[in-house]
Amino acid sequence: MPASRDLQSFGFVYGVYGSTRGTSTASAVFAIQTQFAKRCVAAFAWEDGGGLRNSAADPAVTTAVGTFVLFHPITPNGTIARFRVRRVRMLNVAGGTAAYVPYQHATAITAIVARYLAFGY
């Protein structure tokens, strides 16, 4: 979904929201074109995907564990909102419990789906 200006109906002229899909760079940066005329001042993003992972034994079955991404805002570049992407993984371990793998930079991760809210003019 491209940037939406539906919020302007409520008098919210300095904000846009939308959903995008893309790939993070080798330095774990995910960029979103906000479509502002001059500059993006601030933006927030969250994962729009479910974070579930298919089972290796049966690809039709999804497990309750998977990979999630977190978006940490970094300095915008003109009209582009930028985020440092960190990956959190849950892994199956013996006994049916899940182990938490802490934050790792999500370098060159494809198919990241993000929903965002950006402010600018």
Q: How do the domains of the chain map onto residue ranges?
A: 6-120
From first to last of its 121 residues, the chain has per-residue pLDDT tens of 555 666 666 667 788 888 888 888 888 899 999 888 899 999 999 987 665 555 555 555 555 556 678 899 998 899 999 999 988 776 665 566 666 666 778 788 777 888 999 999 9
pLDDT at position 30, please? 93
pLDDT at position 111, please? 79
Q: Would you tell me how many other CB atoms lie within 10 Å of the CB of residue 19? A: 15
- Beta strand residue intervals within the chain, DSSP E: 15-22, 29-33, 40-47, 53-54, 62-63, 67-77, 80-92, 98-105, 112-120
For residue 82, how far is the Cα from the chain centroid? 11
89: exposed, middle or buried (C-beta count within 10 Å: 0-12, 13-18, 19+)?
Answer: middle
Tokens 């079955």 belong to which residue?
Answer: 61
Query: What pTM, to 2 d.p., does this model score?
Result: 0.73
pLDDT at position 120, please? 92
pLDDT at position 23, please? 87
pLDDT at position 18, please? 86
